């Protein structure tokens, strides 16, 4: 989904949670409700020390940049005499700086066991260096969140993602899978076509613009044989193209999925930005609800607005045997609502677990959780940049349409 987005026969190892002693559990029970998350994180760290030794030696070493991310120590504790050295791994568009688990904001508060289905999906196409770890993860699902955290902490090393210049603050947006009513043939108000890729798409680079595809009579006639379905609203068709896939419901009640199959190789231009540049919307107002409201009030100008984005996306039809499965991301595995993100592949490889530190768009509550890098998007470029997959349905649409939050992120990489 590109949007504008092992088994072994060895004997079972001892369960990680068996290393937590009854005394540790009693210690957790005596924590107050306001500090219990910190106590749990401390217990996990203590249990991990009993399970594993040090990781591999760092490839590069340099002083830690800036202050630590944890709360400052009390005034009575003297500061360290020298900044500690951290391992640094270099990627094409990012640098990864090694951090301790205790430095991840909110670590220990997420439902870590919920990551496992998305993790095993990625393990169907493991990233280089992940085969052994995927085999271990597939042997047995963790019994609870603490066991999942212990597994990750034993086998993985967290690295904070930064730009090549050392900037650790970035941006997260959201996307979702639209659900639209559709018809197989033009009927009534259902007259906006969704196309499969034409035969000459690969030979003509770039292909025709959106305006040419929608207004040139001869071209429209050639493309008519490749029309897959029709929707009512041209803006809904654009949303489907931007999100990269969607679910269509036919009159007989059947659902089908349209998945990304290519585009015209023209540049993507945000119609929200176009409205801002034309003075139709103020900066910060160009959410999808605001754009749809503008289109409702200006139906005669909608075509002109859509043509300001020359990018045009083509689809392929897929069956939808299991409505609980998300569309396939660029990694080639189904996306999981709330546990999959799109990333810049030059910064983070597909199949990498990532710890997010951001906030929800509607409530502004902290959003700190484990996700898998499983997709990409034409607008998702740079080191600290992600697109969060919310799923499908009205709530997912509302959250994704308003998400534009500050972001910090840590990749979790095998030791």
pLDDT in tens, 371-415: 999 999 888 999 999 999 999 999 999 999 889 999 999 999 999
Q: What's the pLDDT at 122?
A: 97
What ranges make up the beta strands (E) of 134-285?
Answer: 156-162, 170-177, 179-181, 192-195, 227-231, 245-249, 255-263
Q: What's the pLDDT at 2?
A: 66
Q: What's the pLDDT at 64?
A: 30
Distance in angstroms (rounded) separating the CA atoms of residues 154 and 55:
9
Percent of the chain having pLDDT more than 90?
A: 74
- Bridge partners, 248 (sequence order): 180, 256
Distance in angstroms (rounded) separating the CA atoms of residues 254 and 249:
6
Under DSSP, is residue 292 helix (H, G, I), strand (E, B) or coil? helix
Distance in angstroms (rounded) separating the CA atoms of residues 112 and 133:
16
Distance in angstroms (rounded) separating the CA atoms of residues 129 and 112:
22
H/E element, 410: strand 404-414
Q: What is 178-318's CATH number?
A: 2.40.240.50
Q: Which residues of 81-97 are buried (b: 16+ CB within 10 A; e: fewer)?
A: eeeeebbbbebeebbbb
User: Dihedral of CA 334/337/342/345: which sign?
Assistant: negative
Q: What's the pLDDT at 324?
A: 92
Q: What's the pLDDT at 144?
A: 96
Q: What's the pLDDT at 286?
A: 82
Q: Which long-range contacts (CB under 8 A, 24 or more apart) does 136-143 make?
A: 138/6, 138/7, 139/7, 139/8, 139/12, 139/13, 140/12, 141/113, 141/116, 142/112, 142/113, 142/116, 143/15, 143/17, 143/113
Do the strands 179-181 and 192-195 form a parallel or antiparallel pair, or are they unpaired? Answer: unpaired
Distance in angstroms (rounded) separating the CA atoms of residues 328 and 281:
34
Under DSSP, is residue 210 helix (H, G, I), strand (E, B) or coil? helix
User: Dihedral of CA 292/303/267/220: which sign?
Assistant: positive
List of the chain residues with pLDDT < 50: 5-81
pLDDT tens figures, 42-101: 444 444 334 333 333 333 323 333 333 333 333 344 444 456 789 999 999 999 999 999
Q: What's the pLDDT at 82?
A: 58
Do the strands 366-377 and 353-359 form a parallel or antiparallel pair, or are they unpaired? Answer: antiparallel
Do the strands 353-359 and 227-231 form a parallel or antiparallel pair, or are they unpaired? Answer: unpaired
Q: What's the pLDDT at 22?
A: 32
Q: What's the pLDDT at 12?
A: 36
């Amino acid at each position: 989904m590109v949007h504008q987005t092992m088994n072994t026969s060895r004997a079972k190892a001892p369960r990680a949670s068996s290393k937590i002693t009854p005394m540790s559990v009693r210690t957790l029970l005596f924590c107050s409700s306001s500090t219990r998350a910190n106590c749990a994180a401390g217990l996990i760290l203590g249990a991990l020390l009993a399970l594993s030794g040090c990781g591999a030696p760092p490839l590069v070493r340099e002083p830690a940049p800036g202050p630590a991310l944890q709360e400052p120590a009390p005034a009575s504790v003297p500061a360290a005499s020298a900044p500690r050295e951290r391992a640094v791994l270099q990627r094409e568009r990012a640098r990864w700086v090694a951090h301790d688990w205790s430095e991840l904001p909110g670590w220990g508060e997420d439902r870590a066991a919920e990551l496992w289905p998305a993790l095993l999906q990625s393990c169907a196409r493991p990233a280089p260096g992940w085969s052994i770890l995927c085999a271990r993860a597939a042997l047995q699902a963790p019994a609870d969140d603490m066991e999942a955290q212990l597994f990750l902490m034993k086998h993985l090393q967290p690295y904070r993602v930064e730009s090549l210049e050392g900037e650790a603050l970035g941006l997260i947006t959201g996307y979702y899978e639209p659900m639209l009513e559709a018809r197989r043939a033009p009927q009534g108000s259902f007259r906006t076509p969704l196309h499969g890729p034409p035969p000459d798409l690969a030979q003509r680079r770039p292909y025709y613009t959106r305006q040419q595809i929608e207004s040139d009579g001869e071209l429209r006639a050639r493309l008519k044989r490749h029309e897959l379905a029709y929707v009512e609203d041209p803006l809904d068709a654009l949303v489907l193209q931007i999100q990269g896939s969607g679910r269509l419901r036919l009159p007989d009640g059947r659902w089908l999925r349209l998945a990304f199959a290519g585009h015209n190789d023209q540049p993507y231009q945000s119609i929200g930005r176009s409205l801002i540049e034309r003075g139709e919307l103020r900066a910060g107002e160009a959410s999808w609800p605001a754009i749809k409201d503008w289109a409702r009030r200006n139906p005669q100008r909608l075509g002109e607005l859509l043509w300001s984005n020359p990018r045009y996306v083509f689809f392929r039809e897929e069956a939808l045997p299991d409505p609980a499965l998300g569309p396939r991301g660029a990694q080639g595995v189904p996306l999981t609502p709330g546990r999959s993100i799109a990333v810049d592949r030059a910064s983070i490889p597909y199949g990498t677990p990532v710890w997010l530190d951001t906030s929800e768009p509607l409530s502004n509550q902290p959003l700190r959780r484990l996700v898998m890098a499983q997709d990409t998007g034409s607008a998702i470029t740079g080191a600290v940049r992600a697109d969060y997959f919310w799923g499908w349905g009205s709530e997912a649409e509302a959250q994704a349409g308003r998400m534009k939050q500050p972001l910090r992120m840590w990749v979790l990489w095998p030791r």
